[in-house]
Amino acid sequence: MKEIFAGSNNKVSPTNKIPDFRFSVSVDCVIFGYDNGVLKVLLIESDHPKFLGQWSLLGDVLKKEEDLDNASYRVLRERTGLDDMFLEQVKTFSAVDRHPDGRVITTAYLALVNVKNHQLKTIDNALHWHAVSEVSTLAFDHKLILETCLATLRKKIEDEPIIFNLLEKKFSLRDLQHLFEEILGKEFDRRNFRKKLFTTGMLIDENEMEVDVHHRPGKLYSFNKDAFKEHQ
């Protein structure tokens, strides 16, 4: 199996700026979704012989004519059918032994998608949403990558209004608060939470109410993209 990497160990270039060894490069996407009050991550059954029966992140190799952003975008598009999700580079993982077949460097991307907004490609029934809190082991170093991206997500939602990417266009304040609580693992005072969100100006009152809810329905809001004032 290691022989497929034979031939990549080449001569040093004349300018001595050119690498004397070439690497396989890939992207892996940590795709988060929020489904029925639970933060989930999209995983696929590993097709690598050494990790049969285990789950892994969605990834692909970088192609000759694309950059890493394009590659991660392509993975998302091919797998979920969406093409305007939040997507951001997080970190590159390069441990020497992270891939059993040889040196593969992978760049992790954080993706936030609205679970309701897309259909998983039905061909790919090896794809499933898993509750993040219940993921134990993953193929390769993907557990470490997942944890790194989760930590990044936790940090980022306190600074930047990216959390809305996980919700439907119109959402209730309860949805929003529960999502914050689910991601951060702590609870907020309902009244203070409302006040804070309103003062940021990021919420647009849609003048609609929740439906099919078994109690007093709440108002629906949408995210005001223009109110980016480094708020929240």
Partner DNA sequence: ACAAAAGTGTTGCTGGTACACCCATGT
Partner DNA sequence: ACATGGGTGTACCAGCAACACTTTTGT
Which residues are near DNA by CB under 7 A?
Answer: 172-174, 189-192, 194-196, 199, 209, 213-219
Nearer to DNA, 72 or 172 (CB): 172
Tokens of 35: 């489904």
Contact present, 85 and 167 (Cβ < 8 Å): no
Phi-psi group of 95: left, alpha or beta (phi > 0 → left; psi -120 to 50 → alpha; rest → beta)? beta
**How many residues does the structure list for the chain?**
232
Contact present, 56 and 140 (Cβ < 8 Å): yes
Answer with the entry of DNA, a second copy, none that 67 interacts with (C-beta below 5 to 8 A by kind).
Answer: a second copy
The candidate with the shortest Cα–Cα distance to 184, out of 132, 142, 220, 116, is: 132
Asked if 8 touches a second copy (CB under 8 A), the answer is yes
Give the total of residues touching a second copy (CB under 8 A).
42
**Least distance between a second copy and beta carbon 39 (Å):** 23
d(CA 137, CA 141): 9
Contact present, 34 and 166 (Cβ < 8 Å): yes
Task: Draw the binding track, 44-83, toward a second copy (x: CB under 8 A; -: no contact).
Answer: ---xxx-----------xxxxxxxxx--------------
**Least distance between a second copy and beta carbon 135 (Å):** 20
Answer with the entry of a second copy, DNA, none that 169 interacts with (C-beta below 5 to 8 A by kind).
Answer: none
Applying CB under 8 A, which residues contact a second copy? 4, 7-10, 13, 15-26, 47-49, 61-69, 89, 91-92, 94-96, 101-105, 107
